[in-house]
């Protein structure tokens, strides 16, 4: 049976022209002798005031697929949580690096993130 786990990453970062990047390391703890599943996981991110979908999320220097942080529908002042798939061969056991980069003129906030992964069966 495959084991799943997660890492909660507390964030309280306002992305502006003077603070366009947030970067942190996080750990992926695997059971002894285990490896990551072929389709290993996803990221949950809570954001507010996102007006454009051009911002980037990278894990270990690789862009996540699709819209990393979609623009908010309607009221962009509401806190919204999005899920982004982490494609194969991005996560690794041990220390990983996550970077969010503001692209364009959008000012927005990121509150918290969760990285979820699954071990190979």
pLDDT band at residue 14 using 50, 70 and 90 as cut-offs: very high
Q: Burial-class residue 21 by CB neighbours within 10 Å (0-12, 13-18, 19+).
A: exposed
Report the number of distinct structural domains present in the chain.
1
The model's pTM is: 0.90
* CA dist., res. 29 & res. 18, Å (int): 34
pLDDT tens for each residue of 35-91 = 998 887 999 999 999 988 889 999 999 999 877 888 888 766 889 999 999 999 999
Element of type H or E holding 101: strand 94-101
Sign of the alpha-carbon torsion through 87, 90, 93, 99: negative
Rounded to 5 degrees, φ, ψ at 38 are: -60, -40
- DSSP summary character for residue 70: P
CATH code at 105? Answer: 2.60.120.1200
The 10 Å Cβ neighbour count of residue 67 is 13
Tell me which residue range forms the domain holding 23. 4-119
Q: In what order do the strands lie in the sheet with 36-48?
A: 4-15, 108-119, 36-48, 80-86
């Amino acid at each position: 049976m495959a084991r799943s786990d997660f890492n909660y990453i507390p964030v309280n970062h306002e992305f502006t022209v003077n603070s366009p990047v947030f970067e942190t390391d996080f750990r992926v703890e695997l059971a002894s002798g285990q490896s990551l599943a072929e389709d290993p996981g996803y990221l949950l991110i809570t954001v507010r005031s996102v007006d454009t979908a051009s911002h980037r999320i990278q894990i270990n220097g690789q862009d996540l697929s699709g819209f990393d942080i979609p623009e908010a529908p309607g009221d962009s002042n509401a806190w919204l949580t999005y899920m982004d798939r982490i494609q194969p061969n991005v996560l690794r056991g041990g220390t990983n690096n996550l970077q969010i980069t503001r692209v364009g003129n959008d000012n927005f906030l990121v509150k918290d993130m969760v990285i979820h992964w699954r071990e190979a069966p």
